[in-house]
Amino acid sequence: MNKTELVNSIAEKTGITKIKAKNFTDAFITTVIDTLKKGDKVTLVGFGTFSVVVRNPRNGINPRTGKKIYIPKKKVAKFKIGNELSNL
């Protein structure tokens, strides 16, 4: 399912217009991103938790050239699945 299909599904299930469903979807995505940028978590009970983790710096190998490279530390988004979603 892509974003358009998600918007259409939300509009159909809630009885709101597609424009309002798109605005809701955009607001949800923006809110999650802004919250993660602040370093906080977003927990939707039963669905899952969005959080930010720091990957430590490490050495790696470029698979194309075989050269050793340095990979700096990096913040990445993480999603931990909730109970309801894990019991599909």
The rounded distance, in Å, linking the Cα atoms of 10 and 18 is 8
If one counts the domains in the chain, the total is: 2
Tell me what pLDDT residue 60 has.
Answer: 96
Q: Does this model's pTM top 0.75? A: yes
12 in the same domain as 32: yes
Tell me what pLDDT residue 45 has.
Answer: 94
Parent domain of 73: 47-88
Tell me what pLDDT residue 55 has.
Answer: 95
Whether residue 42 contacts residue 52, with contact meaning beta carbons closer than 8 Å, is answered with no
60 in the same domain as 88: yes
Whether residue 82 contacts residue 47, with contact meaning beta carbons closer than 8 Å, is answered with yes
The rounded distance, in Å, linking the Cα atoms of 41 and 32 is 8
62 in the same domain as 36: no
